[in-house]
A and B are shown apart, each in its own frame.
Chain A
Amino acid sequence: MNCELILERIAAGERDSRAPSADIDAHLSVCADCRMRAAAAETLGRQLRDALLWEEPSPDLAQRVLDGVAGDAGSRPSRRPWWLAAGVAAIAALVLGVGWMTGRPDWSVDLVAGPAAPGDAGAIVSGWNTSEGTRMIFDVSGLDDAPDGNYYEVWLTAPDGRHVSAGTFNRPGRFEVMAGVRRGEYPRIWVTLEPADDDLNPYPATVLDTSGDDD
């Protein structure tokens, strides 16, 4: 039987219908590949049947956006060139002694701006659960470079308040860090702006924090 056709029928919701087709379940019982892909097909079908997904923005919205950008053009800040931040992030990864992860992450989570960050700051964290702990790739945007004498520090915190540091960085960008604990036991991921001192605890200046929903 054609696997793509089976997955299409699963996406169309045949398994949820009042009279589910027995041939779909029969095929799944013998096809490991389709069993692996069935959940994705069901999710895809559910999304495609959702009216929200098909809504279009108003035709005049493009002009309103362009007008908004034009009105803002004079206030666009000048920043360090992107390649400088990218270079620093790449060097940071090398210093940490870890290579870029490849393959699909086990989870991803959004970090949103905390009280000590610009409103457009944010990060997407992609994570891998490993036998050594938790590897994470951060894509940080919207943060300013850490002021002289300060640095950003990544923390993982358990529900009972225990926390561990997963690494530090100075500029937004893409970089990788490693924590020697399991994400499941330390679900909160957050970032503080730290003064360079001897205090090993998080400084109360949260710049990024877990938004509460994993994808």
Chain B
Amino acid sequence: MHRFQRGDPDAVRVLYLRYSRPVFAVALRSLGDRSLAEEVVQQTFVNAWRAAARFDPALDPAPWLYAIARRAAVDIYRRERRHRENRRDETDMAILPPSFEGLWETWEVRSALDDLPEDERAVIEATFYRQLTHREAAEALGIPVGTVKSRSHRAFRRLAGLLQHLGQETA
């Protein structure tokens, strides 16, 4: 982040590798369109680059990037809606659709997934997303059932430890 804050363009690549998936997940959940979500990703990193000199590299960049990404998604949502309705009255656009709720949760889960070792993430994808049984996952991944179970337990422990605040009531 020090290099990014100083304006080193190569540091953008590092930041992109670490955060492009959470940014994309937030954008896709809010807008529901891959093309628009990728536009949000582009806008987010360019805006972050422009504002990097004001960022304290000692801080976690995730909340900062999330705020920029969410803002970009809001701007594109409003632009698209204006375009569809062919008018410039923004009064009815002040309230965002439900797809904009809980986006930080999406960011956190996607980031936690990216922190998993590749072999553990593959098991979580097979058992949770694809909803395969342990035996089916073992066949699909070409590993023993016992390995699927141990990787699944290990990965879930990591995720649950990182994300144990999910689902708590807020004000």
| Chain A positions 70-94 with a Cβ under 8 Å from a chain B Cβ | 70, 72-73, 75-83, 85-86
- A interface: dominant SS: mixed
How big is the A interface, by class? Answer: 35 or more
- Tell me whether A122 and B70 are in contact in the complex, defined as CB-CB below 8 angstroms, given that A40-B168, A213-B101, A215-B105 are known contacts: yes
Output the least CB separation between B45 and chain A (Å).
Answer: 5
| Chain A positions 30-55 with a Cβ under 8 Å from a chain B Cβ | 37, 39-45, 47-55
Count CB-based A-B contacts (< 8 Å). 217
Closest residue of chain B to A48 (Cβ to Cβ) is B128
- Is B156 in contact with A108, judged by CB distance below 8 angstroms? no
Q: Indicate whether B153 reaches chain A with its CB closer than 8 angstroms.
A: yes
Give Cα distance in the complex from A52 to B109, angstroms.
12
- Is A11 in contact with B153, judged by CB distance below 8 angstroms? no
Q: Indicate whether B142 reaches chain A with its CB closer than 8 angstroms.
A: no
Give Cα distance in the complex from A132 to B109, angstroms.
33
Give Cα distance in the complex from A17 to B164, angstroms.
23
Give Cα distance in the complex from A78 to B5, angstroms.
11
- Tell me whether A113 and B16 are in contact in the complex, defined as CB-CB below 8 angstroms, given that A56-B21, A61-B42 are known contacts: no
- Is B29 in contact with A54, judged by CB distance below 8 angstroms? no
Stretch of A123-131, A159-167, A195-203 at the chain-chain interface? A123-131
Give 4 closest A-B pairs by Cβ, nearest first: A43-B167, A39-B167, A122-B67, A107-B171
A-B contact pairs, 16 of them (CB 8 A): A4-B153, A44-B109, A44-B160, A47-B166, A53-B109, A53-B113, A54-B125, A56-B21, A61-B20, A66-B13, A68-B45, A69-B45, A77-B53, A120-B68, A212-B100, A213-B100
Interface residues of B (CB under 8 A from A): 5, 7, 9, 12-13, 16-17, 20-21, 24-25, 28-29, 34, 37-38, 41-42, 45-47, 49-59, 63-64, 66-68, 70-72, 74-75, 95-96, 100-106, 109-110, 113, 124-125, 127-129, 131, 152-153, 156-157, 159-160, 163-168, 170-171
